[in-house]
Structure 1
Amino acid sequence: MKTVSKGRFLVFEGIDGSGKSELSARLSDYLNSEGIETILTAEPSDSWIGDTLRSETKLSGPIANTLFYVADRAEHTSQIKKWLNSGKWVICDRYVGSTLAYQGAVLADKVENAWDWIKEVNRPAIIPADITFLLRISPELAMERLSLRASSPTRFEKLNFLKKVCDNYEVIAEDDSSYCIIDASQSRDEVFSSVIKRLF
């Protein structure tokens, strides 16, 4: 059993098809089995704002859509703080990095200084992660994995778009010291082992 004295905030980031959600759930199960009380959460959150974002409802445009992500994050962060203050570990499948990477790609040719604007509007709505695991994978391999899913592709699951998102994630990782890059082209067990080694 692992000995832990305080909560930790762990975030998983990466493009669609990188394996974030499965890995987040596996890590949560592992930590709980080791006696570390863990909360598994995700963004968009389970609030009504998150439900709206997941439904891919047509909002008034990409700026409004981005602000919905920020509003959802502000609510979610309030809950995350409570969990951390109670000593729990929090594993979050997507956080502010996703908005920078994805909405940064969406708004790049629509809003002047889009990157700086997205960072600034998110600033009051976030807390720093202890570790952010960026699952690095080529967009081509990610698209191969996504093609095996039964569900229909989302508006983000397009090769050229995911290439832009990948480039954005690389810039974010260089700028944020919490980022730990994991080679997500490895087997599931190898990726999980890499994460565990970084945690302990």
Structure 2
Amino acid sequence: MQPLFIVLEGIDKSGKTTQAELLKHYFINQGDSAIISSEPTEGVIGKLIRKAMQDPIFAIKDKTKFDQQMAYLFAADRHDHLYNEVNGVYKLIKEDSYHVIATRYYFSSLAYNTNNAEEFNFVYGLNKRFPNPDLVIYLDIPLEMALSRLDNVVFKEVYETQEKLQQVKDNYQQIFQSYNGKILTIDAIDSIEKIQEQIRIYLKKNFA
């Protein structure tokens, strides 16, 4: 299988990290090289984003301006994620022949950092030059299930509220209705094993 850039998207607690780990081990067991390289990254800008998401006062109090600030930071972090010459996505794919699996990409910026059409256009403008991945896997989880899983999280991030996640879920639906790249939408209410099986079947059918 050719080296792929695969992105998993979904609201918080939809199972992205779990499925990414399983997919990485699947590729490795098939004899391929694979790595998880997610956003925000572990770089300087990515660490700043994580700090701001845990403590919004660190960044800015106004919610609209906070979303704008985060959109700028994510775009800068995303550029480094893709193109840095040490462990950037395209270096890993083209030179090192790795499958690169990311939890979150520019779709998350469009879903999380926009509240209306004007803000969507602003965030879209920051991200429009970033290439589509080879495959988007959207884990569509019921809001109630995500909130139930968040009940067990001690330190919640600024976006992990019922109101925000409902808006994010709605944004994802609109984004992927008009997306023209390859996308696999999975009902994330299924078991971990069934979700992973659907991913592997799709990969074999479309990329083998």
Instruction: Report the residue type matching 2:72 in the other structure.
Output: L
Q: Aligned partners of 1:84 and 1:68: how far apart in 2?
A: 24
Q: Which residue of 1 aligns with 2:20?
A: 24
Residue 148 of structure 1 and its aligned partner are, at CA, apart by 2.6
Q: Aligned partners of 2:148 and 2:32: how far apart in 1?
A: 35
Give 1:45-60 correspondences, 5 Å limit. 45-56=41-52, 57=55, 58-60=58-60
Q: Alignment partner of 1:45: what SS?
A: coil
Q: Which residue of 2 aligns with 1:80?
A: 89
Residue 169 of structure 1 and its aligned partner are, at CA, apart by 0.5
Q: Aligned partners of 1:138 and 1:161: how far apart in 2?
A: 14
Q: Aligned partners of 1:36 and 1:146: how far apart in 2?
A: 34
Q: Alignment partner of 1:140: what SS?
A: helix
Unaligned runs of 5+ in 2: none
Q: Which residue of 2 aligns with 1:181?
A: 185
Q: In the alignment, which of 110, 117, 128 is matched to residue 100 of structure 1?
A: 110
Q: Which residue of 1 aligns with 2:73?
A: 68
Q: Alignment partner of 2:77: what SS?
A: helix
Q: In the alignment, which of 189, 193, 198 is matched to residue 197 of structure 2?
A: 193
TM-score in terms of structure 2 length: 0.86
Give 1:143-162 correspondences, 5 Å limit. 143-149=147-153, 151-162=154-165
Residue 176 of structure 1 and its aligned partner are, at CA, apart by 1.3
Q: Aligned partners of 2:160 and 2:69: how far apart in 1?
A: 21
Instruction: Report the residue type matching 2:5 in the other structure.
Output: F
Unaligned runs of 5+ in 1: none
Residue 91 of structure 1 and its aligned partner are, at CA, apart by 0.4
Instruction: Report the residue type matching 1:155 in the other structure.
Output: V
TM-score in terms of structure 1 length: 0.90
Q: Which residue of 2 aligns with 1:122?
A: 127
Q: Alignment partner of 1:196: what SS?
A: helix
CA contact (8 A) 1:25 1:40 kept: yes
Q: In the alignment, which of 74, 90, 102 is matched to residue 100 of structure 2?
A: 90
Residue 179 of structure 1 and its aligned partner are, at CA, apart by 2.1
Asked whether 1:7 is paired with 2:7, we answer no
Q: Aligned partners of 1:147 and 1:34: how far apart in 2?
A: 37
CA contact (8 A) 1:18 1:137 kept: yes
Q: Alignment partner of 1:42: what SS?
A: coil
Q: Aligned partners of 2:114 and 2:31: how far apart in 1?
A: 39
Paired residue total: 189
CA contact (8 A) 1:49 1:72 kept: yes
Instruction: Report the residue type matching 2:35 in the other structure.
Output: I
